[in-house]
Amino acid sequence: ERIPILIKQNFAGLSLKVLAHYAQIFKADGRFQFYDYGIKDNLLFYHSKNPPLYPIEKIKIPMCLMYGGKDILVVEKDVVNFYNKLPKEAKYCIKKIDPYNHVDFQYGKDVEKWVFEYTINTVKQFKGIE
């Protein structure tokens, strides 16, 4: 029942460069890195032959990482690896939603309950947020 919405909205604003970057990250063997322009342009942009890694260690905001048990794009090993690289103050929680795949986080039948409600309740736990 949500397929027409998925088709209509899913690729709005998605560029080929973003897709290429996703593919680069997928092939980067666990390195969460900036876009790779190739050696020549990397030297111009980054002053290095290779793109730099995203500075995960600088994240200071508490994060709750969510992933689906049936997701083939974001797998548990990668979520745990990313979480372990976060500094102490950024580690809040990891939540696995067993019946979910990657697309379910936007268009899943029970997304309100599994994702939206959980996210709102999690955010409310932080001081000064009502």
- For residue 19, CA distances in Å to 12, 22, 24, 67, 102 come to 13, 5, 9, 20, 15
**Phi/psi of residue 85, nearest 5 degrees:** -85, -15
pLDDT for 127 equals 66
Convert the pLDDT of each residue in 52-64 to its tens digit. Answer: 999 999 999 999 9
Mean pLDDT of the chain: 87
In this model, does residue 8 exceed pLDDT 70?
no
pLDDT for 118 equals 92
Convert the pLDDT of each residue in 88-111 to its tens digit. Answer: 999 999 999 999 999 899 888 889
How many residues are recorded in the chain?
130
The pairing of beta strand 91-97 with beta strand 63-68: parallel
Closest CA to 59 of 89, 25, 15, 100: 89
**Phi/psi of residue 112, nearest 5 degrees:** -60, -45
Closest CA to 78 of 22, 19, 30: 30
In this model, does residue 40 exceed pLDDT 90?
yes
